[in-house]
Structure 1
Amino acid sequence: MTATGRRGLAIIGGGKIGEALLSGLIRRGGADGILVVERSPERAAQLTERYGVPAVELADAAARARVLLLAVKPQDIDTLLGLVAGHVDDGHLVVSVAAGVPTKRIEAALPAGVPVVRVMPNTPALVDEGMSVLSAGAHAGEQDLDEAEALLAAVGQVRRVPEAQQDAVTALSGSGPAYFFYLVEAMVDAGILLGLPRALAADLIVQTALGAAVMMRDTGEHPVQLREAVTSPGGTTIAAIRELERHGVRAALIAAIEAAHSRSVELGVDKA
């Protein structure tokens, strides 16, 4: 099949982020034109049954789809690129969501001129509230970025950054949901310690987190202003804030995000 005969999207890798993108895209636009490539037959069958999309071999996907979305773990990217290289040309658009893997590493493994767009999504794409950040490789033009952005916009917000900022993006928003889940877990445990049933504590914290996020998004106020509006002199909130500062929670969060950034840089180094 020639490049002009290709259409649609092939998601290569049916793990958590691949499924998050698949489910969101289908919710927005249906399954037409979407293919899945998954090395586990059991997982492939599961995705086909759940979403009604064909699971095909890699060569078939490359022959039929213009956009190839590489949704594998960074540790598996080199193996996948070795398999993909013989089936792609400059009529494809390769979109990679492998954390930490730079476009130049992908381009070096593919035929010359193949456009590559690097994306850092996150798992809230499962509920159409993802944050995806795009960067163009050496051969990707504005039209390629537009195409990738339209794809990711189906599952949330999209931003574009120079690729040099992608490791910071990975540390902040790519891994970011886990930080919030960790904090919510601790707050629910605190509610249980104070005598609340687990289900009630979870309901209180989840709705509080949702409300706080919407306030930050919709009011445009700085988080400090919003926090100060809750913090009365001599009240309960300032007592809690004092303990958070005393235990170095702010410093710990900054250090954690720096560690995630360092790991993203490490993952991007070609070990071959």
Structure 2
Amino acid sequence: MSNSVGMHTLGLIGGGRMAEALISGVLTARLFEPEQICVADPDVTRQDHLKRYYGVRVGLVNDEVVRASDIVMLAVKPQVLADVLRGMGTGIGHRLVVSVAAGVPIGRLQEFLGSQTLIIRAMPNTPAMVGAGMTALAVGPGVGPEAVARVQQIFDAVGKVVVLEERLMDAVTGLSGSGPAYIFLAIEAMADGGVKMGLPRETASMLAAQTVLGAARMVLESGQHPARLKDQVASPGGTTIAGLHRLEQGGLRAVLMDAVEAATRRSQELGN
């Protein structure tokens, strides 16, 4: 195999759904072989699942994963991150640490791991589980372009990647991190509208979900502003402009903007 990432082992502290999405993605992209991935997770059920489906090494304690890995990925909830980090500092050495813990700044990680630790902060979202994720990376001090490229390859395997200044990461959390939940709610509401108008539930859900998927692809692939694409659908005196008028009456734009702002501020609070 040609290991295009150019490293020996990827270690994951935490084996939850995001970790599984990344494992599946990098194996599919052939960035690693299963024996090059090791996972530490306290849940024996998760250990068995990851070993059975992906053939990766599991059941290792955190320190063993750190020692065995070139890249250490912290794939745990922010609430338990401090407990995970305690005692890890001396074993990190020159390894690259990637944190997907929402709202936890690089400076806070360095308080536990040491100011010289090489850290990249990542904010992926749940569509990574189907290879359609959106990840933002913030690069810590001393991390070179080769290491950044390696981490980009990992997240490229589950979707799209952007590199931003860390000060923007809370806004990323509020938009793309929390955003899938906003869209799930919109899909549910659109489907409910279809049901109200007589469509079968399953059909209405499929119509709504595929409509959102198709609209998103048009934005990404056409390069056109969403407003222009919207105008192309809304013909004079037609059905679409009637629906858009009702959405404007309901304040949809302002509500979505407020949702992003509220989630961003909550991310800032968690980081503090």
User: TM (normalized to structure 2)?
Assistant: 0.92
Residue 73 of structure 1 aligns with which residue?
Answer: 77
Report the Cα distance in structure 2 between the residues aligned to 1:232 and 1:87, rounded to whole angstroms: 63
Q: Trace 1:52-131 onto structure 2 (pairs within 5 A).
A: 52-55=55-58, 56-89=60-93, 91-131=94-134
Secondary structure of 1:157's aligned partner? strand
Report the Cα distance in structure 1 between the residues aligned to 2:45 and 2:27, rounded to whole angstroms: 21
Secondary structure of 1:187's aligned partner? helix
1:145-187 deviation per Cα after TM superposition (whole angstroms, max 9, x unaligned): 1221122111111110011111111111111111111100111
Report the Cα distance in structure 2 between the residues aligned to 1:188 and 1:123, rounded to whole angstroms: 21
Q: Trace 1:231-270 onto structure 2 (pairs within 5 A).
A: 231-269=234-272
1:96-121 deviation per Cα after TM superposition (whole angstroms, max 9, x unaligned): 01111110100111134110000111
Determine whether 1:19 maps to 2:23: no
Q: In 2 relative to 1, CA 35–228 (structure 1 residues): closer, same or farther, beyond 3 Å?
A: same
Report the Cα distance in structure 2 between the residues aligned to 1:236 and 1:15, rounded to whole angstroms: 44
Count how many residue pairs are aligned between Structure 1 and Structure 2: 263
Residue 3 of structure 1 aligns with which residue?
Answer: none
Q: Trace 1:147-226 onto structure 2 (pairs within 5 A).
A: 147-226=150-229
The alpha-carbon deviation at position 128 of structure 1 amounts to 1.5
Identity of aligned residues (%): 43
Residue 40 of structure 2 aligns with which residue?
Answer: 37
Report the Cα distance in structure 1 between the residues aligned to 2:10 and 2:66, rounded to whole angstroms: 9
Report the Cα distance in structure 1 between the residues aligned to 2:263 and 2:23, rounded to whole angstroms: 26
The alpha-carbon deviation at position 88 of structure 1 amounts to 1.2
Secondary structure of 1:68's aligned partner? strand
Report the Cα distance in structure 2 between the residues aligned to 1:87 and 1:42, rounded to whole angstroms: 27
Report the Cα distance in structure 1 between the residues aligned to 2:262 and 2:164, rounded to whole angstroms: 21
Letter in 1 for 2:266: R
The question of whether the paired residues in 2 share the 8 Å contact of 1:11 and 1:22 is answered with no
Residue 11 of structure 2 aligns with which residue?
Answer: 10
User: TM (normalized to structure 1)?
Assistant: 0.92
Unaligned runs of 5+ in 2: 1-6
Report the Cα distance in structure 1 between the residues aligned to 2:48 and 2:90, rounded to whole angstroms: 26
